Amino acid sequence: MKKLTILLLSGLLLTGAGCSDYLDEDTTGLLYGPNVLSTQDGLESALTGAYKGLANQWTYGFLHPSANAAVLGADDVTTHPASNKADWREFDQFNVSTTNQRSNAVYNGCYKAIQGANNVINNYQKTVGTKATIDIIVGEAHFIRAFSYYWLTRFWGNIPLIMAGEYSDDLLTVKKSTPQEVYDLIVADLKVAETNLPNAKRDPGRPNKGSAKAFLADVYLTMAGWPLKQTDKYDLAAAKAKEVIDNAATYGFELLPTFAAVFENDPASPGTKEAVFQISGYLGGSGTANATYGNTTMPGEEGGWDDMFAELNFFRDFPAGPRKDATFRTEFGLGATKIPWQNSLTKHPYYQKWYIKGNIVTSSISLPSVMMRYPHVLTIYAEAKARGTGGPDQAAYDALNKVRLRGRAAGTKALTPGDGLTAAQFADEVVQERAWEFACERTRWFDLVRLEKVEEANAKKSTDDLQPIKPIVKANYWFPLPYTDTSINPNLNQ
């Protein structure tokens, strides 16, 4: 009994009280702290995480039709006048709210990618591993950051310029940076990327040296127009595009022989050689499938969502040929019965471009979001050369003709300097060709903005299409910064 008492009492004293480390936190299994990026595997994992910002289906990035909605202010695509499309209409009607979930998905994703890229860029020097591989990782990180800022500044103009990969309270009061400051970083990043990246893409969903140069050319072209209007950048754009064209084979880029082959949309294929840079989609992962095909551009008659379809005058003016045939869907019905678009519920033609091979009705598929196609590079060269020093040369004509002749009806004549176009007229011809070639590919809106033609293009719309809710002004060229962020950081309202 005595023993028992002693045992009890000593047990009482010993339990817990005796162990000074009883309250120490056990972090077994927790991945945190600066050591995560100290190995090459850690750095590579962080880079993969950075890509996630661009590729998180239905959450943020480009694997669902958010960027597609945000460019609806152009004259190539419109949306349903009623149904559940209020957030899509905001872009077509120039009345974008600070809470629009479509544009905000682009914003959130780009900044998430930037956070991941910053983390790699700021920490790779401490990483132990193979230098050649680390260089590529760093090159991809710079590319992702440039790509993301490029989308951000084109949509929102003045934006927070974040270089930190880790959170600190200072970030809560950061002020907006001007487009000039943002473009300076984009150019610097792409220059690092074009140095570091290999000629061959490590995977279909990653950039190579040619991707970096092509985006740099596109960035210069944009810097030459609104809002910076640094026309000296046309020469830089042309030169950089030429580098890509001259080394297309090295980078694995080519113009496919037919336009239809580009939009075969076969989920069994990793993509085409026209893809300068693509964000790949994979059905089987978590948030990795692509939703920019199928349902979103299909009519209700085919089980689609009527999210986006062709504007009437754009379709009317589109030059006939194999490209028009492969671009539009003009009869609806997955079975034997076909309804011509004029008799359909929305009375508009739709974009065949984003139909999945076999007309599968789904919103999740293993297909890529191609963020730039090789003909884009060809037209950058043609336009930039025309607007730059010396006007268009034969190479500029050749570049335009490649795109033009593939798309237009058989027998269409090539354009030649002998046609008597002025340099400006030639440049306009390129811009128009880009409208046809890249219809519904998130390109037309940016062309209209940099050339300040948004008002002009919208004035030509059919009265049967959605109209701007109020007269378009320059303020409509950019969206208001998302409410989520302006409500946290009041400096963003200044």
Partner 1 sequence: MKKLLSLCLVLLGLGGGSLLAQNARVTGKVTDQDNAALPGVSILISGTSQGTVTDGEGNYVIQAPGSGTLVFSFIGYESQTVEIGNRSVIDIKLAQGSRSLDELVVVGYGTQKKTDVTGALSVVSTREFSQQPVTRLDQVLQGRAAGVQVTQSNGAPGGDSKVRVRGANSVLGNNDPLYVIDGFVGANYNLLNPNDIESLQVLKDAASTSIYGSRGANGVIIITTKKGSKGIKVSYEGQGSVSNVIKKFDILPAGEFAEIVNARAAATGSNAPFTQAQIDDFKKNGGTDWQDLVYRKGSGQQHQVTVSGGNEKTSFLISGNYVNQKGIVNNSGFKRYVLRTNLRTQINKNLALRLNLSGAKTANHNTDGGGALIEALQWAPTTPAYGSDGQPTFADPIGSVSRSPLDHLYDKSIDTERMNINAIGGLTYQLPINGLSLDLQYAINYLDAQNKNFNGKRLSNNNPNATRYSADQVTLQNTNALNYTRTFGNHSITAVAVLETQQFTDKNFTATANGLRFPQLGYDNIGGNSAATVSSGFSKWTLLSLLGRVNYAFKDKYLVTAAIRRDGSSKFSEDNRNSIFPSVALGWRLSEEEFIKNLNVFSNLKLRGSWGKTGSQAINPYATLSPYNSTQVGFNNTGVTAGVIQGNQGNKNLKWETTTQTDVGIEMEILNGRLHFEADYFNKSTTDLLLNVQLPNYAGGGTQPRNVGEIRNRGFEFAIGGTPIEKGKFSWETNLNFSTLKNEVVSLGGLPRLGTGTGAGGGMSITNEFMLMPGQPLGSYWGLKYLGTFKPDEADIAAKQGRVPGDPHYEDVNGDNAITTDDFQIVGHAFPKLTGGWNNTFTYGGLTLNVFFQGAFDVDKLNYTRAGAMSGSGEARQFLLTEIRDYYREGNTDSDIPAFTKTYQPFTQSSRFVENGSFVRLKNVSLAYNVPSSVFRDKANIRIFASATNLFTITKYSGPDPETSNVGSSTDTAIGIDRGSYPNAKVYTVGLTLGF
By CB under 8 A, the residues from 230 to 249 that bind partner 1 are: none
Q: Which is nearer to partner 1, 265 or 443 (CB)?
A: 265
Q: Work out which of 2, 337, 411, 494 binds partner 1, going by CB under 8 A.
A: 2
Q: Which is nearer to partner 1, 37 or 241 (CB)?
A: 37
How many other C-beta atoms lie within 10 A of the C-beta of residue 336?
5
- The reply to whether 15 sits near partner 1 by the rule CB under 8 A is yes
Tokens of 392: 């268009």
Q: Which is nearer to partner 1, 47 or 448 (CB)?
A: 47
Task: Decide: 180 and 170 in contact? Cβ < 8 Å.
Answer: no
| Residues 183, 178: Cα–Cα separation, whole Å | 9
Stretch near partner 1 under the rule CB under 8 A, chosen from 280-288, 372-380, 384-392, 425-433: 280-288
- The reply to whether 203 sits near partner 1 by the rule CB under 8 A is yes
- The reply to whether 335 sits near partner 1 by the rule CB under 8 A is no
- The reply to whether 172 sits near partner 1 by the rule CB under 8 A is yes
The secondary structure of 340-390 as a DSSP string is: EGGGSSS-S-EEGGGPPTT----S-BS--EEEEEHHHHHHHHHHHHHHSTT
Stretch near partner 1 under the rule CB under 8 A, chosen from 192-200, 385-393, 407-415, 476-484: 476-484
- Bridge-based pairing state of the strands 60-61 and 55-56: antiparallel
List the interface residues with partner 1, window 52-91 (CB under 8 A). Answer: 52, 55, 80-84, 86, 89-90
The secondary structure of 467-488 as a DSSP string is: --SS---GGGGSPPPPHHHHTT
CB-based burial label for 18 (10 Å; 0-12, 13-18, 19+): exposed
- The reply to whether 206 sits near partner 1 by the rule CB under 8 A is yes
Task: Decide: 151 and 168 in contact? Cβ < 8 Å.
Answer: no
- Supply the minimum distance, in Å, between the C-beta of residue 391 and partner 1: 41
Stretch near partner 1 under the rule CB under 8 A, chosen from 44-52, 70-78, 187-195, 399-407: 44-52
Q: Which is nearer to partner 1, 115 or 127 (CB)?
A: 115
- The reply to whether 98 sits near partner 1 by the rule CB under 8 A is yes
| Residues 283, 459: Cα–Cα separation, whole Å | 41
Task: Decide: 312 and 465 in contact? Cβ < 8 Å.
Answer: yes
Task: Decide: 31 and 37 in contact? Cβ < 8 Å.
Answer: no
Stretch near partner 1 under the rule CB under 8 A, chosen from 64-72, 246-254, 274-282, 394-402: 274-282
- The reply to whether 319 sits near partner 1 by the rule CB under 8 A is no
Q: Which is nearer to partner 1, 283 or 405 (CB)?
A: 283
- The reply to whether 364 sits near partner 1 by the rule CB under 8 A is yes
- The reply to whether 473 sits near partner 1 by the rule CB under 8 A is no
Tokens of 203: 């995977």
- Supply the minimum distance, in Å, between the C-beta of residue 369 and partner 1: 11
List the interface residues with partner 1, window 107-136 (CB under 8 A). Answer: 107-108, 111-112, 115-116, 119
- The reply to whether 210 sits near partner 1 by the rule CB under 8 A is no
Q: Which of 316, 293, 289, 318 is nearest to 304 (CA)?
A: 293
Q: Which is nearer to partner 1, 251 or 436 (CB)?
A: 251
451 half-sphere exposure, CB direction, 13 A CA radius? 22
- The reply to whether 26 sits near partner 1 by the rule CB under 8 A is yes
Task: Decide: 444 and 454 in contact? Cβ < 8 Å.
Answer: no
- The reply to whether 51 sits near partner 1 by the rule CB under 8 A is yes
Stretch near partner 1 under the rule CB under 8 A, chosen from 356-364, 372-380, 421-429, 447-455: 356-364
Q: Which of 409, 262, 403, 261 is nearest to 321 (CA)?
A: 409
Stretch near partner 1 under the rule CB under 8 A, chosen from 223-231, 252-260, 448-456, 482-490: 482-490
| Residues 195, 206: Cα–Cα separation, whole Å | 15
